[in-house]
Amino acid sequence: MLEVKHLAKHFGEKAAVKNVSFQVNQGDAFGLLGPNGAGKSTTISMITGLLSPDEGEISMHGKTMRKHPKFLKQRIGLVPQTIALYDMMNARENLEFWGTVYGITGSALKDNVNWCLQVAGLEDNSKQLVKKYSGGMQRRLNIAVGMIHRPEVLIMDEPTVGIDPQSRNHILETVKNLNRQGVTIIYTSHYMEEVQFLCERLAIMDHGQVIAYGDLNDVRQLAGTLATITIDTQGDLTALVAELQQDLSLKQVQNKEGALVMQSTNAASAVSKAVLAMSRHGLQPTKINVEEPNLESAFLHLTGRQLRDGWDGASA
């Protein structure tokens, strides 16, 4: 439905996007994941027609942005990273303003405004001045503004940057709800949890390139199929580690700063084996943590670097 082929963009000497290709299907929630500076914003600026690519092509339903910019722009909505709202107007007035910018009037405008307020969960606050809104409510109205022309595809550029975890969850639910209503979503983020929660398909970008692309499960498994199990305990682990190292279903069994750490394709069985062995060695588990293969481990495997600092960091 939306196809991006061999996109490239330079800013002077800097190659911000290099040979980026991917395809988004109708009804997809598609994630564009990557660390700061990976080229996500530049890519979506080209998809929305705000920037012209140096090379490559964007097309939707077989029509290219180069030849049919109006066709694509009518069908694509953008939620920018920065909040673009008039804070001396209320939510309804903001939506009406942006609707008229798209040439929507009369009952169509009213219907679209009401739909946007409902999807963003702002019906009860529609008459309140935006400057009185919380950061999370402003973010949701920002999303609503991006949908005022009822686009087929809504592109969101890191819509949760800089907000508290509770508002973030509310936004993620709003996005999921929109996708359930049939809106195709392209969601850029450097938070792998957001992409894992929302998206069935994704591309991971790094240094301007797509380094992994496909179904969530396939990309997640790029790092392998081993879960990492960490069991905290108190006492001497030497004999326990030596015994578990003999078990061929357990990999990388080690004592890491006083905790038992190991890897296995079957985490449940590994935990039960370890706990039984611990009891034989007179040790009590105080905390058990199982980390299944995830997008973070896939990114680490592909680049040797961490994707970002932390889920609750709430920083840009």
Q: Which of 37, 49, 56, 162 binds ligand ATP (CB under 6 A)?
A: 37
Of 33-41, 227-235, 244-252, 286-294, the window that binds ligand ATP (rule: CB under 6 A) is: 33-41
Q: Which of 6, 25, 26, 36 binds ligand ATP (CB under 6 A)?
A: 36
DSSP string, the chain: -EEEEEEEEEETTEEEEEEEEEEE-TT-EEEEE--TTSSHHHHHHHHTTSS--SEEEEEETTEETTT-HHHHHHHEEEE-SS----TTSBHHHHHHHHHHHTT--HHHHHHHHHHHHHHTT-GGGTTSBGGGS-HHHHHHHHHHHHTTT--SEEEEESTTTT--HHHHHHHHHHHHHHHHTT-EEEEEES-HHHHHHH-SEEEEEETTEEEEEEEHHHHHGGG-SPEEEEEEE-S--HHHHHHHTT-TT-EEEEEETTEEEEEES-HHHHHHHHHHHHHHTT--EEEEEEE---HHHHHHHHHSS-S-S-GGG---
Contact between 192 and ligand ATP per CB under 6 A: no
Instruction: Tell me how many residues contact ligand ATP (CB under 6 A).
Output: 12
Contact between 41 and ligand ATP per CB under 6 A: yes
Contact between 11 and ligand ATP per CB under 6 A: yes
Of 38-46, 60-68, 147-155, 224-232, the window that binds ligand ATP (rule: CB under 6 A) is: 38-46
Of 9-17, 58-66, 111-119, 246-254, the window that binds ligand ATP (rule: CB under 6 A) is: 9-17
Q: Which of 7, 28, 42, 270 binds ligand ATP (CB under 6 A)?
A: 42
Q: Which residues bind ligand ATP (CB under 6 A)?
A: 11, 14, 16, 34, 36-42, 158
